[in-house]
Structure 1
Amino acid sequence: MSKTDVSNLSQLGRNVDLPTTPEEAVLEKVPNGNQGTDYVVRFTAPEFTSLCPMTGQPDFAHIVIDYIPDAALVESKSLKLFLHSFRNHGAFHEDCSIYVAKRLVDLLEPKWLRIGAYWYPRGGIPIDVFWQTGIAPDGVWLPDQGVPTYRGRG
């Protein structure tokens, strides 16, 4: 089994300040010790928050990110800090969701990535945002994201 090279990381194992904006947040990567093997990595953020850009009211989402890595993996602490940086950031649901996905694609250049952002209702309408880079490679097991669409109390 290979040992992951963490020598270039600036956040893991250190006390760092929380980034105040998504643009300021530093996403870091580590080498994929299983490059050449297609497999899915899943991150689930069931308590994602941002702010409505018009009212300043909080918005909440359950975000699921699946990707098939190539040469690099996202370092999870940096991802957590990046996602946390949206807490005081005002943007529409679609903008937050797609920005998260595109930052990861730019960093990792994965073989494939998808995001499912399941936003809780505001004004009586839930907004779910889905995006992927293309068709996943054949033969890769892609489990359902497991988040039902919003049904309210019924």
Structure 2
Amino acid sequence: MGSKSKNLNYRILGPDTVKTDLLEVIEYLYLGRDIEITIEHLEYTSVCPMTGLPDFGKITVRYVPSKKLIELKSLKFYLLQYRNVGIFYEHLVNRIMDDLVHILGPKKMEIIGEFTSRGGLTTRVSVSYEG
């Protein structure tokens, strides 16, 4: 008897469908003062590019701004685009880093992905940038 899951038709989108033009910035008015901003997105979802099964986790963005701040609603909508995207955790944190560094030009940034357990394995992936 064959696997019934083979008949399921999951629509997996590619990472190229994520649009960075949704991201908006705000001018940082205190250029002589370094602050650290931490943003946590507790309801991150994407799909496994191999199986199409959902992945869940928490994405943390931590950065020291240079001249620009990320507008939070636009960041939320940017991250929501990953809902049906097939992407590996390691690629995801690097993609988010590249997109945010490009638009913000921060002094420092760290992206952390903490993903819920799958098959008894819990994964945490982080990437850092210093400009």
Which of 116, 126, 130 aligns to 1:130? It is 126
- In the alignment, does 2:19 pair up with 1:23? yes
C-alpha separation between the residues in 2 aligned to 1:95 and 1:42?
A: 21
Amino acid at match of 2:117: P
Q: Deviations over 1:36-72 (max 9, x none)?
A: 2100111101110000001110001111111000010
Name which structure has the greater RCO, CA cutoff 8 Å, separation 6+: 2
Sequence identity percentage: 35
Which is richer in helix? 2
For normalisation by structure 1, the TM-score amounts to 0.70
- In the alignment, does 2:107 pair up with 1:99? no
Describe the SS at the equivalent of 1:85: helix
For normalisation by structure 2, the TM-score amounts to 0.82
How many residues align structurally? 116
Identify the residue that residue 73 of structure 1 maps to in structure 2: 69
Unmatched 5+ stretches in structure 1: 1-19, 136-154
The Cα RMSD (Å) is: 1.8
Which is richer in strand? 2
- In the alignment, does 2:74 pair up with 1:63? no
Q: Deviations over 1:10-48 (max 9, x none)?
A: xxxxxxxxxx93236521111111112100111101110
Aligned 8 A contact 1:25 1:85 in 2: no
Deviant stretches of 4+, over 6 Å? none
Unmatched 5+ stretches in structure 2: 1-15
C-alpha separation between the residues in 2 aligned to 1:78 and 1:134?
A: 23
